[in-house]
Amino acid sequence: MTPQGHGEPAADADTVPWQGSEISGGTVLGPAVQARDIHGDVYLGTGPPTPFRMPVPAQLPPEPALFTGRSRELATLNGLLAGEDPARPVTIIALTGMPGVGKTTLATWWLRQVRSNYPDGELFADLGGHMRDAPVGPGEILAAFLRALNAPPSRPGDLEELAGAWRTATTGRRLIVLLDNAASAAQARALLPAGGPSLVVVTSRCTPSALALDGARFTRLGPLDEPAAAGLFGLVLGDDRAAADPGAARAVARLCGCLPLAVCVAGARHALSPWRTAAQIAGELASEQHRLASLTVPGDLSVRAAFDSSCQRLPPDAARMYRLASLLPAGEFSAEQAAAAAATDPHQAACLLDLLTEASLLDEEPASRRYRFHPLIRLHARGQAKDIEPAAEREAVAARCTGWRPQAAVAGLAVIPGSYRLSSSAGPVTRTRSRAPPRPSVTSRHPARRSAPQPVPDRLIRRRPAER
Ligand SMILES: Nc1ncnc2c1ncn2[C@@H]1O[C@H](COP(=O)(O)OP(=O)(O)OP(=O)(O)O)[C@@H](O)[C@H]1O
Ligand SMILES: [Mg+2]
């Protein structure tokens, strides 16, 4: 007799470590009694305690249901991983990009593809980097990670002890750690495992450059390509409206700047109104004035809210530059043009533009050192300028920037209060503000390219003595 019945496995061999017993020629697992007759009850001891196994943590977000495109980016990530020194205890990849560009989605998709190389578990934490409140502190996350690894901290309030316990628990373990929405390098650094070796992906709207000191590799994610964005729009609509009018689907993709969040919102808004054609949806998005308002699914998804949350974290002077630079008529602009827009000096302007670039609200073309807003970000920034900047200031930007040319830049510098003045040896400089400037035109495509600005010759500028 056996408690389970002769010949049946007692339980999963993983959880019951007893040896099998030979009874009447057969093997049974678990405690067994062999007797001719039994009178009364039989009591069995429980045997050695069954070891309790914590499940291996599998905290990665669910597989993105409509994952589209990104073959190039996936190849880049695979290349970064393959290029890592295998002796390195932790591979860190920082994935940055503008709000809603698909950082979390790509990281999740990719990590799910490589998870089999990290059998000791997958940990995930949202670091809340762009939430209105302060980002989540490391103590809370370390404690949760340690619990998931069955190494609960004895004194959860003590950060030093938590950090030590985290290093102990992660040494020799092959883990995946996805640190989503990091506010800074310091916030992510406190959560790096000791490694065995492990793989850490940090996603952030800001560039956590200081993670370079920890050996991080950086990759900046841009919008989808147009076919993928149009395909995603069709998938979210969930029927054949996009396939029936591919041109309209591509127009929607373009009007959304191929930003996945915007494309998803455009589709989700109309998924339940099958009578509305793809061309009508594109028509609704055509108005720049109403586009951001259209890219909202009430109470759930909002492109504007995503951009707002990034702007709220900007220092005031960077936020002002964000607003004023968006009023520049050209799609691309230089630091000098931005300086003219904000009536500041080019050095200060470059610093502020760097802040905006680091916050993924602006792109810089490294070769030409020219800047460009994503089209939806630009609409957002212009909306903010309209809401926040007085009309007189907006008019003044138009005046300072109209017909910007190298000489005009010099004239622009001349009106920067307290920063620069023209050298008396520079000769006469025509002030471009002498005639009434037209308002900036949103339709002029690349006027800056037609009159590419040159650096202001140094002889034309004499800094105040204090600045030398
Ligand atoms: N490659 C993709 N395929 C399908 N959907 C995608 C893709 N990339 C992003 N999305 C969708 O776009 C939306 C925004 O993506 P995600 O949340 O990953 O962006 P994010 O860059 O992490 O944004 P945030 O800066 O707000 O954290 C989500 O609804 C997501 O499902
Ligand atoms: Mg995200």
What DSSP string runs through 17-77?
-PPEEEETTEEEES-----S---S-------SPPPP-PPPPB-SPPPPTT----HHHHHHH
DSSP letters along 119-188, please? TT-EEEEE--TTSSSPPPPHHHHHHHHHHHTT---SSTT-HHHHHHHHHHHHTT---EEEEES-S-HHHH
Structure-model confidence comparison of residues 188 and 403, the more confident one = 188
pLDDT of residue 462: 34
Residue 224 has pLDDT above 80, yes or no: yes
Nearest ligand for residue 231 CA: 1
Where does the pLDDT of residue 377 fall: very low under 50, low under 70, confident under 90, or very high at 90 and above?
A: very high
Dihedral sign, Cα of residue 450, residue 452, residue 453, residue 459: negative
In this structure, which residue's CA is closest to atom 28 in ligand 1?
A: 261
Ligand 1 atom nearest residue 260's Cα: 12
- From ligand 2's centre to the CA of 210, what distance in Å? 20
**What atom in ligand 1 is closest to the CA of residue 360?**
25
Q: Residues with beta carbon inside 6 Å of ligand 1?
A: 64, 66-70, 97, 99-105, 181, 203, 205, 232, 260-261, 264, 306
Please give the pLDDT value at position 313. Answer: 87
Which ligand 1 atom is nearest residue 205's CA? Answer: 25
The number of the ligand nearest the C-alpha atom of 70 reads 1
Under DSSP, the state recorded for 276 is S
- pLDDT tens digits for range 161-201: 999 999 999 999 999 999 999 999 999 999 999 978 999 99
Write out pLDDT tens, residues 334-375: 999 999 999 999 999 999 999 999 999 999 998 888 999 999
Query: Given this model, what pLDDT does residue 84 score?
Result: 86
Q: 128-142, 269-283, 353-367: lowest mean pLDDT where?
A: 128-142
Going by CA atoms, what residue is nearest to atom 29 of ligand 1? Answer: 261
What is the Cα–Cα distance from 219 to 205, expressed in whole angstroms?
12
So what's the pLDDT on residue 25?
59
Nearest one of 460, 422, 441 to 327, comparing CA atoms: 441
235 Cα nearest atom in ligand 1: 4
Cα dihedral sign, 341-344-346-350: negative
Q: What is the pLDDT of residues 234-266, one digit of tens each?
A: 999 999 999 999 999 999 999 999 999 999 999
Euclidean distance between CA atoms 405 and 430, whole angstroms? 11
Bond prior to 138 in cis (omega within 30° of 0): no
pLDDT digits (tens, 9 = 90+) for 102-114: 999 999 999 999 9
At residue 200's C-alpha, the angle toward residues 194 and 204, to 5°, is: 130
Atom of ligand 1 nearest to the CA of 301: 29
User: What confidence score (pLDDT) does residue 9 get?
Assistant: 39
User: Could you give phi then psi for residue 26, rounded to 5 degrees?
Assistant: -115, 170
Of 95, 105, 181, 308, which is best to mutate to test ligand 1, by the most ligand atoms within 8 angstroms of its C-beta? 105
Q: Is the pLDDT of residue 94 over 80?
A: yes
pLDDT of residue 330: 84
CA-nearest residue, atom 13 of ligand 1:
261
State residue 445's pLDDT score.
Answer: 28
The more confident residue out of 403 and 431 is 403
Residue with the bigger pLDDT between 403 and 238: it is 238
Q: How far is the CA of 125 from the centre of ligand 2 (A)?
A: 11
Mean pLDDT of 317-342: 93
CB 118 within 8 A of CB 193: no
Q: Structure tokens of 199?
A: 């793989």
Higher pLDDT, 413 or 249: 249
Token pair for residue 285?
A: 């998005």
Looking at per-residue confidence, does 4 or 431 come out higher? 4
Please tell me the predicted confidence (pLDDT) of residue 24: 63
Judge contact between 353 and 318, C-beta under 8 A.
no
For residue 46, the one-letter residue type is T
CA dihedral 262, 264, 267, 270 (to 10 degrees): -90
Q: Which of 237, 174, 235, 233 is nearest to 200 (CA)?
A: 174
Query: Across the strands, what pairs with 301?
Result: 297
Which candidate, 44, 61, 52, 45, places its Cα nearest to that of 17? 52
Averaged pLDDT for residues 71-82? 96
| Nearest partner of 174 among 145, 149, 150, 196, judged by Cα | 196
73 band by pLDDT with thresholds 50, 70 and 90: very high
What pLDDT score does 401 carry? 76
Helix then strand then coil, in percent of the chain rounded to 5, is: 45, 10, 45
Higher pLDDT among residues 405 and 232, named by residue = 232
Q: How many residues does this entry show for the chain?
A: 468
Q: What's the whole-number mean pLDDT along residues 444-468?
A: 33
Closest-CA residue, ligand 1 atom 25, reads 99
Q: Which ligand is nearest to the CA of 130?
A: 1
16 vs 270: which has the higher pLDDT: 270
Ligand 1 atom at minimal distance to the Cα of residue 97: 21
Measure the CA–CA gap between 149 and 55, rounded to whole angstroms: 9
Q: In angstroms, rounded to a whole number, what is the distance separating the alpha carbons of residues 209 and 192?
A: 15
Q: How far is the CA of 254 from the centre of ligand 1 (A)?
A: 17
Q: Residue 44: pLDDT band by 50, 70, 90 thresholds? A: low
**Spatial CB neighbours of 308, under 8 Å, sequence gap ≥ 6:** 380
> How far does the centroid of ligand 2 lie from the alpha carbon of residue 82, in Å?
25
